[in-house]
Structure 1
């Protein structure tokens, strides 16, 4: 353990985890149909399908609405050769053969895009937010020499080695602690006002000039939430008022927020617009990488 880890561990001793948050329950209490019925009975507008923000027509309309709202997207072409080089150097097949088996192209592409958009280097202190079991911290540390941390609400509160446990909206680290951070398939899971509070916290945790990357950026034609009712109907999930719930059978997740351009401005940009510069990317050839890839948008926010 290096000196930085030792100092932080002393400042933030490990405490028992008393969180009631359960990401994916071990026992499914309701069927899909019963879960949808329960959500409808609670007054939610329910749609019995997943959200489509990847088909060409939907993407065109989302970009049109974003442009109308003043959200400027840069066309980003994924370099297939560089992605392949990253995939091989990261050694997913040998070190992480069971990591998202069947969906490893999507996940490794998210990791590659994050590494590229953030330009992570040996001088960086990097936090992978809502990391769960992601190999990002190990891969980035090995490939770049950066000091890396994984953060997740499911870890014991405090800091142990390179794990930061507890609420991402209140991290037990000093001001200006990190230079880079990322959320890969994570921001959408921040319930209630946690997404807004997260960016307020990142304005404290990131150094001036520091940057956070979010990929995929779940943007849609209107503000909506995707859920698997077998998980969420009995979990007391706090959905956004007046949101439409798109029920995705077999998805296994309790909450996935899709922003409209306006809701993203109101929830994320407006509260921190004096502290961050946002840049948006349309991953124009994402479907060409592999048909299973569902990332279409990404964004970075640079601390001012």
Structure 2
């Protein structure tokens, strides 16, 4: 019999890629998503239920109707500047709703949990690449809301039979190479997506936020991971828990950093468009440099990334955005 899993936020960018891979691996998938930022068209496998994690009664009802062996929790708000402007919304949607979900898992006896966390929990790291034991000192409400969720999961696990894998994402980008999935949000703020928007003339220019960071070219440095490799890490984590693995917190990145200027230059080169770039002040809550030490995820889960290449990430993003514009066929 197929194993049935619940995926919250499975209509979103990362969640939809995981749902596709779960379906292809013959899991029975139920997606629970309010589709505030995700798209029903992105759910290529399983059943989509429209709902919000703030609605605890509805959530209990859904879990009672199914026998889930595991929960993969993606649903969250994730824009750093927005979290600074609207912190209460972030604590409600990220932290409180994780608590709601854990309460439901407790009542229903679901004891395998995979959580979508973030490198933002590290804040302005004093060491790079950061390891899982690097102190967690988030500098914005987004990072704090996710770290608080991690604490909820860990504390509940100590008091129960719950086993978890918390995956701390670095900068996720790219799209499914077959052209079926990618970012659907019309207002995505990710750097590579913003650069592709400028290259496709959707916007007249793009902005660099901060050129005075203590980095070689003055712009922020990030570790970019292809969404397909990140999705595969979730399936590895699920199989790990199914085999009785102990709870883990693992970084998801490549251990290779690129500056904002370097990324923009690759988008220009691959697109063949020399779009205007405007230099602006730093945004609140942005650290100078964050790169992953990803040795543990390879060791513990046997994770083997296939798309560890900035050009491949840019190429698949650009191809997806062109498909959305109808410039090339799907």
TM-score when scaled to structure 1? Answer: 0.34
Of Structure 1 and Structure 2, the greater helix share is in 2
Structure with higher RCO (Cα < 8 A, 6+ apart): 1
TM-score by length of 2: 0.32
